[in-house]
Amino acid sequence: MNRSALRAAALGATIVFTASNRLTPSATVISIPAGGSVNPEAAEKAVQIGPHGVIAATFELPSRHSEVLRRTGVVSILRAPVPANRPDLQYAELELGAIAENGTVLANAHDFFDGAQLEDDSTPLIFRSDNPPQAVPAASCGKTLVESNARVLAAQGGILAITMQPAIDNAGDKDNGDLAPYAVEFSKRGCYRLGRATVQALRGRYAAGWRVYHGRYQSSTTLVFDRARYVAVRWYDRLLQELGPGVALDVAADGTAVGADRYPEFDQGAFEHAVRARLWQTNGHAVDIGPVGFNSIAHAVDEHGRVVGMLEHKGRFDAFLWHDGHLKTLDDLLRQPDWHFEAAFDLSSDGRVAGVGRYHGVDSIFVATIP
C-alpha cells in the first residue's frame, strides 16, 4: 500500500506554541483545536520539545484542511503557501519536521489538493517568528535532488537533515535501487549526501534513520511491499553503518539509537504487522525493550539512557518510560487521575516529556516532568 495514500486519508496540521519555562510535576495540558486529534500510533514524532520553551505538534483535522497554529504570547495561524504558478491548488497537508536550536519550526508541506485530486509533492518549509514561511533553498543539492520530494526530519546547529525521495513514475515494482531516497545534510555551506537512506535524527556526531530493501535492492520508502525488509542505520561523522532489522527514530549523543523492529504501519484501527520497540547500544547490539504481546514504538532517547514511546494492546494505547531495563507507563509513573497518557513522543535533557493523551476524556497534548 502506498504510504502517501494512507496519509492523504486524514490531513494533518501543526500546532506551535511556547510553553512556560517552569513546569510542575503534574502534566501541563495543551488543548487541541476543536475536532482535532494527535494519533498515538504515529510512526514519527508528532509532538516535539524545542529550545526557548517551544513545543510543536502535528494534529489531524476532521475536514480536508490543514493549518499551523503558533502561540508566542498570542496565537497566530500559519499556512503552507500555494505556489504562485498554481492558483488552482486549495491547500496542502502540513506535518511537523523538527524544531531548530533557535526555536524555528521546520515543517513539511505535501499532498497539495486542487479540488479534484491530490498531488503528492513534498516541500520542507521554514517558519520563523511571524514572517511568511520560506522553502528550504536546496539548489546546492543538485538537479536530481532538487526535483525529488524532500522532507526535513531533524535539525542541529544550523544543519538540516533532509530525506529526498526520487520521483516515482509508474514504477511501483521497480527494484533496481533507483527509487531509494537520499539522506542529505543541508546547511549554509551547501549540501552533503550521506548515502541512500532516510535520515530521521541528528545528535552530536551521530545521525540515525533506516533503509528499505525489496529483494536485493534498496527501494522507495513511500512504497510498502509485503516482503519489504527494514534496516536501521546510524551515521558517525557521516560514515553510515547498518545496524540490522528495524527503523531508528532517534539517537543520543553517545550513539544509542531507538525505534522499532520494523516501520509501524497503522491502518483501519490496527497495526498491519506486529511492531516492537527496539534499542541499539553504542556497539550496535540490538535490545528489544517493548513487552512481548504488545505493539510498541520507542520515539526518543536522552543522554541518561531514558527512552519514551508508545504501547498498544487490544486497542488501548499507553505512553511509557524505559530506563535500565525497567518499563513503566506514564499513568503509573505520574499518577495523574485526570489523565490517560497514550503516547510519549519526545524527551528533553532536563527531564520533560511531551506526547498525547486524554485529559478528562478529551484528546490533548501534554508536557510533564519525569520524577
pLDDT in tens, 321-365: 999 999 999 999 999 999 999 999 999 988 899 999 999 999 999
User: Which pLDDT does position 267 carry in this prediction?
Assistant: 83
Q: DSSP per residue over 335-358, as a string?
A: --TTEEEEEEEEE-TTSEEEEEEE
Residue identified by cell 503528492 is: 120
pLDDT in tens, 232-259: 999 999 999 999 999 999 999 999 999 9
Neighbouring residues of 313: CB distance < 8 A, sequence distance ≥ 6? 293, 294, 295
Query: Based on the structure, what is the number of domains in the chain?
Result: 1
Which letter, b or e, does each residue of 275-296 get, where b requires 16 or more Cβ atoms within 10 Å of its Cβ? bbbbbbeeeeebeebbeeebbb
Our CA angle for 237, 238, 239, nearest 5°, is: 95
Q: How far apart are CA 259 and CA 301, in angstroms?
A: 9
Q: pLDDT over 90 for what percent of the chain?
A: 46
User: Which pLDDT does position 60 carry in this prediction?
Assistant: 82
- Which pLDDT band holds residue 114 (cuts at 50, 70, 90)? low
Q: How far apart are CA 79 and CA 220, in angstroms?
A: 28
Higher confidence at residue 140 or residue 74?
140
Q: What is the CATH number of the domain that holds 92?
A: 2.130.10.150
Cβ atoms of 356 and 366 closer than 8 Å? yes
Owning domain of residue 118: 3-369
Task: Tell me which of 67-81, 91-105, 233-247, 336-350 is least confident.
Answer: 67-81
Query: Within 13 A of 210's CA, how many CA atoms are on the CB side?
Result: 30
Which pairs from 266-272 meet CB under 8 Å and 24+ separation?
Answer: 266/39, 266/41, 266/43, 267/1, 267/6, 269/315, 270/315, 271/41, 271/295, 271/312
Q: How far apart are CA 59 and CA 128, in angstroms?
A: 20
Task: Tell me which of 21-30, 132-141, 267-276, 307-316 is least confident.
Answer: 21-30
Q: How far apart are CA 96 and CA 154, in angstroms?
A: 10
> What is the Cα 83 distance to its own chain's centre?
25
Cβ atoms of 106 and 125 closer than 8 Å? yes
> What amino acid is encoded at 226 in this protein?
D
